[in-house]
Amino acid sequence: LGGKPKPYADISTAYGQYNTLLLSGAAGTGIMKSGLSLDARYSYVKSDGYIRNGKVDHKNIYAALSHYSDRQLIRLIYMNGIQHTGITWEGIDPSMLAINRRYNPAGEYKDDNGNTRYYDNETDNYYSNIGQLIYTRYLTNALTLNVNLSYNHGYGYYENYKTGRKFSEFGLQNQTVDGTTYKKSDLIRRKLMMNHLYVGGVNLKWEKDKFDFTLGSMYSYYDGTHYGRLLWVKFNQNIPVGYEWYRNNADKQDMNVFLKTEYKPMTNLSIFAEVQERYVDYRMKGIDDDLTNLSSKNYYSFINPKGGISYRFADYNEIYGSLGISNREPLRADLKESLKEGGIPITSERLYDYELGYKYANATIA
């Protein structure tokens, strides 16, 4: 969104079953004589959902300030997203589906009189703020500089009512209340996360005659924390409100450099090759929600090459082939599980990609 030559504005809305409301609006100044343009968009979705607790409440804001000149573009972007969603991921037995298609067990419990109740705040929530700076400069007729900087701050949590959970699961002693000692209790837990992601990238692209070269680099730093708190415990002797039973942090640095080149010896023939060298430093510390120590240091170094050729003929036809090798480090979940299995080493993944194809495209069919 952005860069439209003339001023504009539009708004749309829709309403449907289960109190579903969709609203969106966008406006922009167009590119003014000064070269500046301002664009903004807002969207809103709210619904009760079909199944019980299937509610959604989402808001998104986008704003971009741009400056255009003959040889340069500068754009500053801000995005904000807020998500509130009722938890619906537990699933139900087929027999219950035949009785009540809208049944959802999330947050269900029995009160002291044996009546079925539901916890109202069985929800999944996330807040995100993103800032981005884009800079493009034509240094010469053949050489272009592109720079991209961004920052993403995220915060979120999900909250559950849990029945009959052992105190030992949370690193707590059994609780004695009114002379009775309890090993288990109903409770409300909240699992939270907060992260910061910094990304910077730069590349130089040279295009002239039959050759096209791009040399670039990217660096990202991720700082993420996961932690859990108890908001309420039914049988509580001395557990403070907001008791934190786990916290862990992950720091991930991802660095790469790459070179891409394309050669067109003829108008309808293209040969390309690219190679990327990538280094990942991934460290974790602290304990997980099951009290497992996640402290570890993980390092990965990859070289990812790719090459191919394509040939266009008879106006709308193209045949192509390529060969590539890509490597990927384990996910956070994979690293966690390897530690919980006694520190069994886990390796990175490697993919060999062979492609051979035919494509037909014209103004009507693609």
Number of domains in the chain: 1
On whether residue 18 sits in a domain, the answer given is yes
Q: How much is the CA Rg of the chain, to the nearest whole Å?
A: 27
> Could you give the CA distance from residue 25 to residue 1 in angstroms, rounded to a whole number?
12
Q: How far apart are CA 252 and CA 332, in angstroms?
A: 10
In a domain, 236, yes or no: no
109 Cβ contact partners less than 8 Å away, ≥ 6 residues apart: 116, 117, 118, 119, 161, 163, 186
- Please report whether residue 70 resides in a domain: yes
274/262 Cα distance (integer angstroms): 9
* 266 within domain boundaries: no
Instruction: List the chain pLDDT tens, one digit each, 366 residues.
Output: 456 889 999 999 999 999 999 999 999 999 999 999 999 999 999 999 999 999 999 999 999 999 999 999 999 999 999 999 999 998 888 999 899 999 999 999 999 999 999 999 999 999 999 999 999 999 999 999 999 999 999 999 999 999 999 999 999 999 999 999 999 999 999 999 999 999 999 999 999 989 999 999 999 999 999 999 999 999 999 999 999 999 999 999 999 999 999 999 998 999 999 999 999 999 999 999 999 999 999 999 999 999 999 999 988 899 999 999 999 999 999 999 888 887 777 889 999 999 999 999 887 776
Q: Write out the residue range of the structural domain in which residue 14 sits.
A: 1-104+119-134
Buried b (16+ CB within 10 A) or exposed e, 220-259: bebebebbbbbebbbbbeebeeebebbbbbbebbbebebe
On whether residue 93 sits in a domain, the answer given is yes
Q: What is the rounded distance in angstroms from the CA atom of residue 225 to the CA atom of residue 237?
A: 29
Provide the pLDDT for residue 344. 77
Reading phi first (left if > 0) and then psi (alpha if -120 to 50, else beta), residue 301 is in beta
From the number of C-beta atoms within 10 Å of its C-beta (0-12, 13-18, 19+), residue 53 rates as: buried
Residue 315 placed within a domain: no
Q: pTM, whole model, 2 decimals?
A: 0.90
CB 57 within 8 A of CB 46: yes
Which one-letter amino acid corresponds to residue 116? T
List Cα–Cα distances, 79 to 42, 59, 125, 303, 311, in angstroms. Answer: 10, 11, 17, 34, 41
* C-alpha dist (Å) from residue 226 to 156, 175, 178, 251: 10, 26, 35, 12
With respect to residue 36, please indicate whether it lies within any of the assigned structural domains: yes
- Residue type for position 121: N
Q: Collapse the DSSP code of 252 into the 3-class scheme (helix H, G, I; strand E, B; otherwise coil) and give the result.
A: strand
- Residue 366 has a pLDDT of 67
Tell whether 53 is covered by a domain: yes
